[in-house]
Structure 1
Amino acid sequence: MTKSMLAAAVLLASAAAWADVSVTFVKPEEFADVPRNSIDRDRTLKDFSDYFATLNKKLPAGQNLKVEILDIDLAGRLWPRRTGDDIRVMNGGADWPHIHLRYTLEQNGQVLRSGDEHISNMMYQQRINRYSDGDPLRYEKQMLDEWFDKNIVPKVAAR
């Protein structure tokens, strides 16, 4: 009995040290460019939520990042088709990805950083991308990775 109580206490103490990333979407039905039908829109927003959930591994223990997505304009343009699903076409012109977000980074209840950001990547097709061609959000994830690494957990320069 005491071993299980000790294990529970250790688990509770370590849970406080975990990093956490939470994301909310503010009026997603009004976003500039997400799929029109609700099933595809929900899938896209879930893909974004799943992506943000992976960022907690990059945060130092005990830090919490809260992100509110205010608008999304995905890479490319959506072209409606008469038969079936719409198709997204990317030409590398003025169709780059853009996300408007508000964020707060906290540790032990204190705000370390916060801001309102308009993130975009005009050169989204001219850069090496670590996400697969089959990932529908590869350009947005790459853009968010760069923003996260630069603004949330900047790398300390080697001395």
Structure 2
Amino acid sequence: MNRLRTLPLLLATVLALGACASTGSTSMLAPDAPRALPAAGPVSVAWEDPAQFTEMRFSGNRHASAEGNWLNTLATYMRTEAEETLPTGHRLELTIVDIQRAGRYEPWLAPNLQDARIIRDMYPPRMTLRFRELDSSGSVLAEGERKLSDPAFLMNASRFNDSDPLRYEKRMVDSWLRSDWRTASR
């Protein structure tokens, strides 16, 4: 009879340990987590250690900031958008040095809001990135580091019901590609 009572507890423990092990390997903070998108096309996107990103260190909830696949999603978006502006035969290398997503976690507001990202104008998106553009022969055409920010991100909101959690960061990247990068690389 005693074995029948401990079996469910043992099974629950094994399942919990398995869940922890499987989520730990997919964390963007894991030592073996990828630090770049797989090579494909003329634009490469890499990132430095996410544990050092402002997003992780000062967001108010490091665990919630590290959850999900948002870094990979943003890097994929950057690659796709940059490929559209890149002249034929050119290559572009992008490295995300630092990022702070729009909003912060404010766990002091209420216990049930500890995992809610609060969007306020005092928490704009920011990103530091390095870039290098090469022509078809491999000669460097442009390179540098840019500090992107969109302090008016709430005023520039285009759609009221937009549910993309990276909409502010994507708009900031679009603005950079449209104004700074496109004119600098021509």
Normalized per residue, the structure richer in strand is: 1
Counterpart Cα distance in 2 of 1:64 and 1:107: 6
**Aligned: 1:23 with 2:45:** yes
**Aligned: 1:136 with 2:158:** no
| Shift of residue 33, structure 1, vs aligned partner | 0.9
Contact 2:126 2:150 in 1 (8 A): yes
Q: Which moved more, 1:112-121 or 1:33-42?
A: 33-42
Partner of 2:149 in structure 1? Answer: 120
Identity of aligned residues (%): 31
Larger radius of gyration: 2
For structure 1, which runs of at least 5 residues remain unmatched after alignment? 1-17
**Aligned: 1:52 with 2:78:** yes
Count of aligned residue pairs for this structure pair: 137
**Aligned: 1:96 with 2:118:** no
For structure 2, which runs of at least 5 residues remain unmatched after alignment? 1-39
Contact 2:105 2:114 in 1 (8 A): no
Counterpart code for 1:75: A
Partner of 2:102 in structure 1? Answer: 75
SS in 2 for 1:33: helix
Partner of 2:26 in structure 1? Answer: none
Counterpart Cα distance in 2 of 1:85 and 1:137: 19
| Shift of residue 52, structure 1, vs aligned partner | 1.6
The C-alpha deviation readout for 1:48-85, integer Å capped at 9, x for no partner, is: 12202212122111111111111101111123475697
Contact 1:131 1:138 in 2 (8 A): no
Indicate how the Cα distance of structure 1 residues 111 and 91 shifts in structure 2: closer, same or farther if over 3 A, else same.
same
Partner of 2:37 in structure 1? Answer: none
Partner of 1:10 in structure 2? Answer: none
